[in-house]
Structure 1
Amino acid sequence: MPQTVFAPWDDPKETPLIRFEGVTKRFGDFTAIDNVSVDIFAREFFALLGPSGCGKTTLMRMLGGFETPTEGKIWLGGQDIGRTPPNKRPVNMMFQSYALFPHLSVWENIAFGLRRERLDKDKIAARVEEMLRLTRLQRFAKRKPHQISGGQRQRVALARSLAKAPKLLLLDEPLGALDAKLRQDTQFELVDIQEKTGTTFVIVTHDQEEAMTVATRVAVMDEGRIVQISTPDKIYEEPQSVYVADFIGDVNIIEGTASATGPETYAITWGEGRPPLIAQSQRSFSEGQACSLAIRPEKVAIHAQEPEALNRVRGKILDIAYLGNLSTYHVELAGGQIVKAQEANTRRIARRSFTWEDEVWLSWSDTAGVLLAE
């Protein structure tokens, strides 16, 4: 039986769990959040992604009840929670520091919030054991936080946050303290735990790879606004602005002017004496309109001889970034523009086809790039 695709945002009959409605937050003269409206659905793993100071943490703090909106409303499960204090919301927040009690064992840390609810001992014990199993921490139940690794402490904080079965869990840069390899492993653990519990997760991160790995949808933020919300693949393959194309992954941006040459096909004039580049686009551009062509390096092929390709340019290899499985070639064109091409390292490095200072050709298809107006 085919698996149903999880995409409640595409179903007009679905009611969002969270709704930001024209939310603005000002601190004195500074506008941290500028008229944001967004819907987040139950069981989503939703990522707020952007550089430092873009407003993502302020948006999360308003959801948690630590800040109140200056204007607009925040709805959770159909209730206006704009003025509801944090302890009265079915929401839990997991901080980057984890904030574990150093004098309590792993078991006691997870039980802490349940004890404050005055639940009976059997219920607390059953819930803690369930959380230990979920986060694979049974063996470490009696240890103190300083006796376990960073990744295990992160899982204790997660177990404690989920113990009270919140409708919504907020994660503020939760993997920031972990090293790269552990962070990668923990990303998949987070997704697995989120799917098993069915809790709605909202994560704040500046790490694009983290957002793309864990999230069902990503909201890219800039200067207090959400500039694009979509699934990770669409954010990467179909950015709606140069800002998003540039912020997510590696990209070549070629600026020029567009002229239609056929249905959804444009010639881009981009430098004196150079043949125009050809690109397909469902967006329409007027004659001579300024545009930017965004092409991912993995969609650019590198050749020793001039290829028979629609878009081809010549240049010299200026630099090579060796990333183990991939090599990125930085090729300088005649006008000084750098274009990056990426190749998988299927052969050993000693047998690499190209090296520094080599004259090479680059090529890409008319569908490889995204034509952008802004």
Structure 2
Amino acid sequence: MTASVFEPWNDPEAKPLIHFQNVTKRFGEFTAIDNLTIDIYEREFYALLGPSGCGKTTLMRMLAGFETPTEGKIFLAGQDIAPVPPNKRAVNMMFQSYALFPHLSIWENIAFGLKREGMPKHDINDRVEEMLRLTRLEKFARRKPHQISGGQRQRVALARSLAKAPKLLLLDEPLGALDKKLRQDTQFELMDIQEKTGTTFVIVTHDQEEAMTVASRVAVMDHGKIVQVATPDRIYETPNSVYVADFIGDVNLIEGTVRPNGGGSYAMSWREGQPPLNVQSGNEFSDGQKAHLAIRPEKVSISAEKPAAADNAVQGRILDIAYLGNISTYHVELPTGAVIKAQTANTRRIARRDFTWEDSVWLSWTATAGVLLAE
């Protein structure tokens, strides 16, 4: 039996856990959130991704109850949560600073919220032990926060947030203070814990790699609006705008005008003296319409000779090489002055690299390699 795919957003019967209905939030003259409607489903790991100031933290603070919408409504499990104070919501928020109590042990930090709620002592013991096991912190229960590492403190904050079994856990840049390697390890731990507990996670991050790794769906934000919501692979492979294509990963953006050739095929005129590019697109464009071709560097091949049967081939010289261990990115300048990036996997030792600076090379890609975007 194959595992069922988790895609409640494609099920017309599924009821969202969180529903934002035409929510606007203004601070004086400034509109932080602009008429936003979104659904987040139970057991989903939902990432809000965008540059600083795009409104993602405001959105999260409204869910937590620290801000109220200027207009519109927010529903949690069908209930309008506007009148519900933060401490009465089935929502917990984990901050970037972790905010642990320095004088309390790890065990006491995790138990703190449960004691305040007046949970019976033996239940507290069981719950804290369960959280310590879940976050693999059993050995550190008696230590104070300053006696453990940043990554471990992060797990304590997570254990404390999950101890009260919230319906929803909000994570505001939770891995911001960790170094790259630890962050990557912790991302997988987060996913593992989220899956084991079945809690709905909403994470705010400006780190696209993080969002792409952990999330079931990514919502890309810009100026208080959500520009696109989709699974990470769809966001990467079929962005709906130049903004999303440019924000996620590395991309070449070629601007030009298109002429339809029938059957979803287009000829794109882009630079004087260059033959038009052949592009296949599911989106419809009219004759002479301005468009952008977004093409990922790993979909551009680099070769010394002109490829015999390529849909698109352009010649240029290597301006720069970024060596990233597993891959190399070549910045190739065309005679027109345009620079196109091509990426190759380094399967061989670096001493045997095929191309170097100033070499003349051919870049080629298929008609379906890129996405044609209107804006």
Fold-level match, TM-score > 0.5?
yes
**2: distance between equivalents of 1:242 and 1:68?**
32
CA drift at 1:48: 0.1
| Secondary structure of 1:32 counterpart | strand
CA drift at 1:310: 1.1
| Secondary structure of 1:209 counterpart | helix
Q: Find the counterpart in structure 1 of residue 52 from structure 2.
A: 52
**1: distance between equivalents of 2:34 and 2:278?**
37
For residues 282-312 of structure 1, what are the alpha-carbon distances to aligned partners after superposition, in whole Å with 9 as ceiling and x for unaligned? Answer: 1100000000000000000000001121100
**2: distance between equivalents of 1:179 and 1:196?**
25
Q: Find the counterpart in structure 2 of residue 257 from structure 1.
A: 257
| Secondary structure of 1:291 counterpart | strand
Q: Find the counterpart in structure 1 of residue 181 from structure 2.
A: 181
Moved over 3 A (4+): none
Q: Find the counterpart in structure 1 of residue 290 from structure 2.
A: 290
Q: Find the counterpart in structure 1 of residue 223 from structure 2.
A: 223
CA drift at 1:266: 0.6
Conserved 8 A contact 1:74-1:81:
yes
Q: Find the counterpart in structure 1 of residue 369 from structure 2.
A: 368
Conserved 8 A contact 1:135-1:159:
yes
- Give the alignment of 1:127-142 within 5 angstroms: 127-142=127-142
Q: Find the counterpart in structure 2 of residue 124 from structure 1.
A: 124
Residue 18 of structure 1 pairs with residue 21 of structure 2: no
**1: distance between equivalents of 2:149 and 2:204?**
23
Q: Find the counterpart in structure 2 of residue 198 from structure 1.
A: 198
For residues 165-200 of structure 1, what are the alpha-carbon distances to aligned partners after superposition, in whole Å with 9 as ceiling and x for unaligned? Answer: 000000000000000000000000000000000000
CA drift at 1:347: 0.5
| Secondary structure of 2:273 counterpart | coil
| Secondary structure of 1:340 counterpart | strand
Conserved 8 A contact 1:113-1:164:
yes
**2: distance between equivalents of 1:331 and 1:112?**
58
**1: distance between equivalents of 2:324 and 2:272?**
35
Q: Find the counterpart in structure 2 of residue 169 from structure 1.
A: 169
Conserved 8 A contact 1:65-1:83:
no
CA drift at 1:83: 3.0
Conserved 8 A contact 1:68-1:83:
no
CA drift at 1:88: 1.2
Residue 356 of structure 1 pairs with residue 357 of structure 2: yes
Q: Find the counterpart in structure 2 of residue 105 from structure 1.
A: 105
For residues 250-309 of structure 1, what are the alpha-carbon distances to aligned partners after superposition, in whole Å with 9 as ceiling and x for unaligned? Answer: 000000001111211111000112110011111100000000000000000000001121
**2: distance between equivalents of 1:132 and 1:279?**
54
Q: CA RMSD in A?
A: 0.4
For residues 346-374 of structure 1, what are the alpha-carbon distances to aligned partners after superposition, in whole Å with 9 as ceiling and x for unaligned? Answer: 01111000000000000000010000000
CA drift at 1:82: 2.0
Structure 2 residue runs of 5 or longer lacking an equivalent are: none
CA drift at 1:211: 0.1
**2: distance between equivalents of 1:82 and 1:310?**
56
For residues 177-229 of structure 1, what are the alpha-carbon distances to aligned partners after superposition, in whole Å with 9 as ceiling and x for unaligned? Answer: 00000000000000000000000000000000000000000000000000000
Give the paired residue count. Answer: 374
For residues 80-119 of structure 1, what are the alpha-carbon distances to aligned partners after superposition, in whole Å with 9 as ceiling and x for unaligned? Answer: 0123210110000000000000000000000000000101
Conserved 8 A contact 1:301-1:364:
yes
TM-score (norm 2): 0.99
Structure 1 residue runs of 5 or longer lacking an equivalent are: none
Conserved 8 A contact 1:46-1:202:
yes
**2: distance between equivalents of 1:103 and 1:295?**
53
Query: Aligned residues: percent identity?
Result: 76
**2: distance between equivalents of 1:246 and 1:275?**
25
Amino acid in the other structure paired with 1:333: L
**1: distance between equivalents of 2:336 and 2:253?**
14
